[in-house]
Amino acid sequence: MTSPTVPAPTTPLPADHPLVDGRTSTTPLVRALRGDRPDDGTTPVWFMRQAGRSLPEYREARAGTAMLDACLTPPLAAEITLQPVRRHQVDAAVFFSDIVIPLRLAGVDVEIKPGVGPVMDRPYRTAEDVARLTEHTLDDDALAPIAEAVRLTVAELSAEHRYAGRPGPETDGSVPLVGFGGAPFTLAAYLVEGRPSRDHLAARTLMHADPETWARLTAWTADLTGRFLRAQVLAGASAVQLFDSWAGSLSLADYLAHVAPSSTRALAHVADLRVPGTDEGVPGIHFGTGTGHLLPAMRDVLRTAGITHPTVGVDYRTPLDEATALLGGDVPVQGNVDPALLGAGWPALEAHVRDVVARGKGAPGHVVNLGHGVPPETDPTVLTRVVELVHAL
């Protein structure tokens, strides 16, 4: 006789959470992430890196403030998060932060160097290095600036950025906020390399030379990112995205053996959160660059973590209809306008956007996005025009 399955424990979202009180539960973004296509065919759209260097108001707001300091100043982080919603009328805000913020909050000496990216005080490549790293923890007090920035953002979205009058179904809800975090592999790669790398050779070497140390490192980065995501959700984010910048450098075998377990661990930090009295959890998106060969594995990470509504982000290298077929046709997709076309002139861009929307129709839900982030030199008016086109379609 087999033992009955014991349901996994769940944690109710706060009563004033936007998914609980209805502010975001029927918005186009949340519906799409849940695999629900409105009868009128409305397709939501937002852009990775929509808050940032492409906007003159961002450059003005952040003048004289270092990147990571801006992320940890709640009023400034909230303002930057809101800027593209005001300008472009996108269907989601994405929390303005950086994937290395959890490292900074845990006491790691890291900075963003202009023109370079995240740079550590030193590479962490030995068992002793990792043992010292993993003595650092990330508690609620350290995460307080993140929670406060999210609360400020959600309050402003609820007050001023509502769907009434927008294309698509009218609701009384507010624009949802997408929480953001870096995948454990990408964080670990930065730590091992000490700075951005083209091939992540040192990280991949450690992965095989000392699997135990690698597993300890990625479990630690998973918990940092997981707590970072959880703080955002409990403060009001309506969905989360796990962003794996460098997973495309891995073979499928290495991904499954050395990366998927830690990504699953990170997402499990939010998988237990539920709308009270329902089985509705927080939708989760998993995105990586150069990961066409990993898409089913990334889907399985979401499912294994317990995310009730998994969505796979697809970069610009894989057409959405092909991605949907690889994924089995039963999960929503996000993507995948090629960022290069933002500067290629409107005729080429319009045709491309129409093609992306058409190819996305085979999935249960589709969120239009870029197949990577907004390039800093992008003309903001082009992004606004893309939003208008997607809403018109």
Which residue in the list 49, 87, 227, 265 is annotated as catalytic?
49
Helices 201-209 + 211-234 axis angle, to 10: 120
53 is catalytic: yes
Which residue in the list 87, 91, 98, 227 is annotated as catalytic?
98
58 is catalytic: no
163 is catalytic: no
Which residue in the list 21, 36, 37, 53 is annotated as catalytic?
53
Alpha-helical (H) ranges within the chain are 18-21, 28-33, 56-62, 67-71, 74-88, 101-105, 127-133, 140-160, 184-193, 201-209, 211-234, 252-258, 260-271, 295-305, 320-326, 346-359, 380-392
| Rounded Cα gap, residues 96 and 47, in angstroms | 12
Supply the DSSP string of 287-334, one letter for each residue. EETT-GGGHHHHHHHHHHHT-SSEEEE--TTS-HHHHHHHTTT-S-EE
Return the residue matching tokens 């317990």: 306
3-state secondary structure of 99: coil
What tokens were used for 319? Answer: 């057409």
140 is catalytic: no
Which residue in the list 58, 163, 190, 255 is annotated as catalytic?
190
Element of type H or E holding 11: strand 11-12
62 is catalytic: yes
Of the candidates 327, 238, 298, the one whose C-alpha atom is nearest the C-alpha of residue 29 is: 238
Active site residues: 49, 53, 62, 98, 190
